[in-house]
Amino acid sequence: MTEAFDILLNASLWAAVLRIATPLIFGVLGALVCERAGVLNLGIEGIMTMGAMAGWLTVYWGGDLWTGLLVAALAGLLLGLLHAVLTVVLGLSQHVSGLGITLFGASLSYYLYRLWVQVGDLPPTIEPFQPLHIPGLSDLPFLGEAVFSQTAPTYLALLLVAVTAWVLARTPLGLALRMTGENPHAVEAQGLNPVAIRIGAVMAGSALMALGGAFLTLAAFNSFFPTMVQGRGWICIALVVFASWRPGKALLGALLFALFDAFQLRLQTTVEGVPYQLFLMAPYVLSILALVLVARRARVPEALMQPYRRGER
Amino acid sequence: MRVERREDISLTALLIAPFAAIAVALALCAGLIAMAGVNPAAAYAEMLRGAFGSRLAVTETLTRAVPLIFTGLAAAVAFRARLWNIGAEGQFYIGALVAAGLGHSLLSGLPAPLAIALVMLASMAGGAALLVGPALMRLRFGVDEVVTTLLLNFIVILFVGLMVEGPLRDPMAFGWPQSVPVAADLRLPDLVPRSRLHIGLILALAVAALVWLVQSRTVFGAETRAAGLNPRAAAFAGVPLTATLVKVALLSGGLAGLAGAVEVLGPAGKVTTTMSPGFGYAGIVVAMLAALHPMGVVAAAVFVATVFVGADAMSRATGVPSFIADVIMSVSLLAMLTALLFTTYRLRR
C-alpha cells in the first residue's frame, strides 16, 4: 500500500501520465469530431499507424520535426477523405469501411516503410522532440517536472482540446457540425450542405488521429515499428463514448486512462510474482468496463452511423 | 446522371462484384509493386507460381485456406445478422489454447476420433463464450460490439502469452514460448502424403455446406436474415431478436474457435502467440468478398490464401516487401464494399 502511495507522489509518474495521454488526446479528439458530425471512424488504428510512419519518414529523410507532424496530418487528411468518400458520398457501411481503412492504412505503412527504409538488426532512429524548458515554470518544485517538462506536441494536444471545445460549442461551424450529427435533414433545410460538412469533419478528425500516431514516433519513441499503435485507436473509440462526446470529458478520460496505465507500468516493476501480461491486459479490460458503465447513460449523436442521401428518408 | 435504387438486388452485379473488386485491387497494387522497381506482371506471375506452381505450393495454399474458411464463415454469419464480430482473432486464439490445453494429455485415454471431437467442441465453446459476452453487452447496455471484440483480441493474446510462458509451457522448447505439443494420436491425419495438408480441409468444406443449409433452409436462418435486414420489422413479425443474436454469436464465435482447434490439431501441433498471421481479420475480407455467402467464403478463402502464400514466394524472388499481400487484401475489401453498392443501386442517365 505504501508502495502505491510512493508511486503516486512521484513527479515522474505525473510526467508519464501526460506523455501517455498525448496520443490518446489527439486520437479521441479526432474520433469525437467525426462522430459529432455523424460518422463513426474505425479507420483510427490505421490512420494513427500511417501518421506514425509518415511523420517519422519525413524526419528520417531530413525534414524537421514540425514538418513531420504536418506531413502526418496530411496523410491523415487523405485517409479521412477516402473514408468520407466511401461512407458519406457513397453511404457504405461505416463499420466495414472503417475496418478497411484500418487494414489499408496499417498495411500500406508497413509496406512503404519496408520499401524505403533499410532495417538492420535494430530499426533506424531519428532525433525526437525534447522536453521544453519553460523559464520559471519548469523550475517549480514537483509541478515543474510533472507538468512543465513535456515535449511541444503535448502542449499542442492540450491547446487543441480547448480549440475543439470552443469551435464545437461557440461557432456557427461547430453548430452546423453538431446539427449534422443530430439531424442532417434540418441542416439541409437551413441551406447548408450536410454532405460537405461530414466530409470536412471526417478529414479534420482523421488529421488529428494521425497527429496522435506521429507523437509516438516523433516524441514518445524515436523509431517506427509494425504494430506500434497497439490498440490505442480502439481505446480512443471507447474513450469517446466514456466522454459522452464532449472534448473536456475526453481530456479527462484520456488523463484517467493514462494515469492508470502509468501506474500499472510502475507496479509491474515493484510487485513480484504476478505475470506481466496481467498488467498489460488491464488497460483493455478497463476500457471495456468503462464502456459498460457509461454506455447506458451516454447521449449518442442522433444520426451517428446513418448515411445521408439527398431526397431519401 | 444520377444514382437510383434498384427494385431487386441484381444477381449479375453480385456475381461480378468480387472479380471486379479483386481486379481493381490488383491494378492499384501494381503501382506499389512498380515503385519497388519490379515489373508488376512478372511479380503477379511469380505469386501464382508461388501459390500453385508445384504440388507442395498447392498443398500449402490449401492448408492456409482452411483456417480462413472457418474465420470467413464466422464473420459471414455474424455480419448477416449485423452483429459486427471483429473478434475472430481472439476467438481463434481461445480455440487454439483450449485445444492445446486439452490435447496434450487429458483426453489421451479415449479413442482418437472421440477425443478429437471433444477437443473441437470445447474449442468451439471457448470461442462462442468469448463472443456471447460482447453480444450481451450490446443487447443489455448498448455497448458497440466492434470495440469490445477488438479490445478482447488484445486481452486474449496476452492471456495466451501468459499460458504458454506459465502453466502450458513446453519445457523442451529451449525457453521458446510455446505450449507443450498435442498428443500424436490427436493430430488430424494428412490428406495428401508428404505435405502439411490435413483432413481439416474436408471438415471446413463440410461446415461451409452445413452453414449454407442452415441459413437457407431453417427458421433460424430466416430469422437471422430478417434481424439483419430490418430489426424493427423483424421484431414486429415475431422474430425473437435477443435470442437470435445470441444464437448467431454462439455460432460465429464457435466457428472462429474451431479454426483455432483445427490449426492446433492440424499443422501447428501446439499454440504460440504468433501462430495466426491475422486469420481473424483476414476472415472479414473473406466474408465480404464472398458477399457473406457460405460457399463463396470457400472460394474467397482460397483467393486470400493464394495472395498470402504467393506473396511470400514473390517477395523472396523479387524483394518486393511481403506486406503487399496485406495491402492487396485491404484494397480488395474496400473495392468490394464499393462494388456491392452497384448490386442495390444503379446509374441512370
Split at pLDDT 50, 70, 90, the class of A132 is confident
pLDDT of B2 reads 64
The average confidence (pLDDT) of chain B is 91
* Residues of A contacting chain B (CB within 8 angstroms): 42, 82, 86, 90-93, 95-97, 99-101, 103-104, 106-108, 110-111, 114-115, 230-231, 234-235, 237-238, 241, 275, 277-278, 280-281, 284-285, 287-288, 291-292, 295-296, 298
Mutate which: A288, A300, A305, vs B, most B CBs within 10 A: A288
Split at pLDDT 50, 70, 90, the class of B349 is low
- Min Cα distance B11 → chain A (Å) is 19
Decide if pLDDT at B107 tops 80: no
Least CB–CB distance from A238: residue in B32, B147, B284: B147
pLDDT of A33 reads 97
Task: Walk me through the domains of chain B, giving residue ranges and CATH numbers.
Answer: 2-348 (1.10.3470)
Average pLDDT over residues A75-91: 96
Query: In the 8-state DSSP scheme, what is residue B179?
Result: B
Contacts of A238 in chain B (CB under 8 A): 147, 151
Contacts of A111 in chain B (CB under 8 A): 32, 321, 323-324, 326-327
- Min Cα distance B284 → chain A (Å) is 9
Q: What percentage of chain A has pLDDT greater than the value 70?
A: 98
pLDDT of B5 reads 75
Q: pLDDT per residue over B163-211, tens digit each?
A: 998 888 888 777 778 888 888 888 888 888 888 999 999 999 999 999 9
Distance, CA of A139 to CA of B311 (rounded, Å): 56
- Min Cα distance A115 → chain B (Å) is 6
Decide if pLDDT at A73 tops 90: yes
pLDDT of A222 reads 93
Average pLDDT over residues B299-327: 96
Instruction: Calculate ∠ Cα B51-B259-B178, nearest 5°.
Output: 90
Which residue from B minimizes the CA distance to A238?
Answer: B147
With contact defined as beta carbons under 8 Å apart, do A213 and A47 qualify?
Answer: yes
Weakest mean pLDDT among B69-83, B98-112, B130-144, B268-282: B98-112
Decide if pLDDT at B7 tops 80: no
Weakest mean pLDDT among A214-223, B126-135, B229-238, B245-254: B229-238
pLDDT of B1 reads 57
As a three-state string, the secondary structure of chain A is CHHHHHHHCCHHHHHHHHHHHHHHHHHHHHHHHHHHCCCCCCCHHHHHHHHHHHHHHHHHCCCCHHHHHHHHHHHHHHHHHHHHHHHHHCCCCHHHHHHHHHHHHHHHHHHHHHHHCCCCCCCCCCCCCCCCCCCCHHHCCCHHHHCCCCCHHHHHHHHHHHHHHHHHHHCHHHHHHHHHHHCHHHHHHCCCCHHHHHHHHHHHHHHHHHHHHHHHHHHHCCCCCCCCCCCHHHHHHHHHHHCCCCHHHHHHHHHHHHHHHHHHHHHHHHCCCCCHHHHHHHHHHHHHHHHHHHHCCCCCCCCCCCCCCCCCC
Contacts of A241 in chain B (CB under 8 A): 143-144, 147
Decide if pLDDT at A112 tops 60: yes
Which residue from A minimizes the CA distance to B148?
Answer: A288
Decide if pLDDT at B66 tops 90: yes
pLDDT of B343 reads 82
* Residues of B contacting chain A (CB within 8 angstroms): 32, 35-36, 79, 84, 86, 137, 141-144, 146-148, 150-152, 154-155, 158-159, 161-162, 165-166, 281, 284-285, 288, 321, 323-324, 326-327, 329-331, 333-334, 337-338, 340-341
pLDDT of B183 reads 85
- Residue B152 and residue A235: Cβ atoms within 8 Å? no
Q: pLDDT per residue over A249-286, tens digit each?
A: 999 999 999 998 888 888 887 777 788 889 889 889 98
Split at pLDDT 50, 70, 90, the class of B108 is low
Strands B2-5 and B345-348: antiparallel
Decide if pLDDT at B106 tops 60: yes
pLDDT of A298 reads 74
pLDDT of A40 reads 96
Split at pLDDT 50, 70, 90, the class of A294 is confident
Decide if pLDDT at B127 tops 90: yes
Task: Walk me through the domains of chain A, giving residue ranges and CATH numbers.
Answer: 2-295 (1.10.3470)
Contacts of B32 in chain A (CB under 8 A): 108, 111
Decide if pLDDT at A242 tops 60: yes
Decide if pLDDT at A6 tops 60: yes
The C-alpha cell 463472443 sits at: B131
- Min Cα distance B62 → chain A (Å) is 24
Q: What percentage of chain B has pLDDT greater than the value 70?
A: 98
Split at pLDDT 50, 70, 90, the class of A248 is very high
Split at pLDDT 50, 70, 90, the class of B3 is low
